[in-house]
């Protein structure tokens, strides 16, 4: 099925040229709007796969405002078109989540590239979201703390409610420092050994398994086993550490 595209452009000649090119490239143009208000209505009714949005529409709301309204009710890639390389506009466009921002006049190959890659990028994001949803559903049934530590952001995601059940803390209470949050609960005598084991695993790119003690919110000492593995980007840089922490026994 051909990808369906909505054109929002108030210059008739430009819109016609874009439409002709899209047809030649194998896309279906489902509609053309010259005003932001009309674009919102058409997007809601026609449910296109992608929108080409001129920012500087002559009357009514501009393209940025229309895009924000559209993104409230549908997840769709939007490519912005404008004759003005205003830095403020570009920043606002990025804040909507737009992947591409094209300055007029543009070459046909620029538009073709932007359309192709926006559709691919959106498709990959949809698959990633579905995969993440399945992962969270699976994690909800695991009797341990399922985590993913993001190295670049220094933040940890928790995929079920076992963090609070085992430690007494919520993720918001622990996710304050640029480190793996469970570290703040680990008994000090265990920390050096834990760091050594994990650092060795990261260097070798291998999974790790270790036992240690942590103190929960009520001051109770709990023994846990932490099984995790590192993931790396295409350049070999550490992306995440993913794992599960199971409670073994308690000592009062």
pLDDT confidence of residue 145: 94
* pLDDT of 250 above 60: no
CA 244, CA 190: separation in Å to the nearest integer? 18
* pLDDT of 89 above 70: no
Domains of the chain, earliest start first = 4-135 (3.40.50.2300), 140-251 (3.30.450.20)
* pLDDT of 252 above 70: no
pLDDT confidence of residue 188: 75
Mean pLDDT of the chain: 88
* pLDDT of 88 above 50: yes
pLDDT confidence of residue 3: 95
Extract the tokens encoding 136: 């969270």
* pLDDT of 130 above 90: no
pLDDT greater at residue 183 or residue 52: 52
* pLDDT of 242 above 60: yes
Percent of the chain whose pLDDT exceeds 70: 92
pLDDT confidence of residue 251: 46
**Segment 39-55 mean pLDDT:** 96
pLDDT confidence of residue 157: 87
* pLDDT of 202 above 60: yes
CA 103, CA 9: separation in Å to the nearest integer? 13
pLDDT greater at residue 128 or residue 4: 4
Concatenated DSSP letters of the chain: ---EEEEE-S-HHHHHHHHHHHHHTT-EEEEEESSHHHHHHHHHHH--SEEEEES--SSSS-HHHHHHHHHHH----EEEEES---HHHHHHHHHTT-SEEEESS--HHHHHHHHHHHHHHHHHHHHHHHHHHHHHHHHTTSSSEEEEEETTTTEEEE-STHHHHHHS--HHHHTTSSS-GGGGGB-HHHHHHHHHHHHHHHHHT--EEEEEEEE-TTS-EEEEEEEEEEEE-TTS-EEEEEEEEEEEEEE-
Q: Picking from 117-121, 178-182, 193-197, which range would have the lowest pLDDT averaged per residue? A: 178-182
* pLDDT of 168 above 50: yes
pLDDT confidence of residue 99: 67
17, burial (CB in 10 Å: exposed 0-12, middle 13-18, buried 19+): middle
pLDDT greater at residue 232 or residue 234: 232
Q: Picking from 3-12, 30-39, 77-86, 210-219, which range would have the lowest pLDDT averaged per residue? A: 77-86
């Amino acid at each position: 099925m051909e990808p369906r595209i909505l054109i929002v452009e108030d210059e008739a000649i430009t819109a016609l040229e874009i439409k002709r090119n899209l047809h030649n490239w194998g896309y279906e143009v489902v509609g053309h709007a010259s005003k932001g208000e009309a674009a919102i209505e058409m997007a809601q009714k026609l449910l296109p796969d992608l929108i080409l949005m001129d920012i500087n529409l002559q009357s009514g709301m501009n393209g940025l405002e229309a895009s924000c309204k559209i993104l409230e009710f549908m997840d769709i890639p939007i490519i912005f078109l404008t004759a003005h390389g205003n830095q403020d506009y570009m920043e606002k466009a990025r804040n909507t989540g737009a992947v591409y921002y094209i300055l007029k006049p543009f070459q046909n190959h620029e538009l073709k590239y932007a359309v192709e890659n926006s559709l691919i990028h959106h498709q990959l994001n949809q698959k990633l979201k579905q995969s993440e949803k399945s992962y969270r559903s699976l994690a909800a049934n695991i009797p341990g703390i399922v985590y993913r530590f993001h190295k670049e952001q220094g933040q940890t995601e928790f995929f079920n409610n076992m963090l609070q059940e085992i430690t007494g803390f919520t993720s918001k209470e622990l996710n304050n420092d640029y480190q793996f949050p469970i570290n703040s609960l680990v008994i000090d005598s265990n920390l050096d050994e834990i760091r050594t084991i994990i650092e060795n695993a990261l260097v070798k790119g291998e999974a790790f398994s270790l036992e240690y003690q942590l103190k929960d919110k009520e001051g109770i000492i709990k023994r846990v086993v932490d099984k995790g593995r590192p993931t790396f980007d295409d350049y070999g840089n550490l992306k995440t550490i993913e794992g599960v922490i199971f409670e073994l026994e308690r000592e009062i």
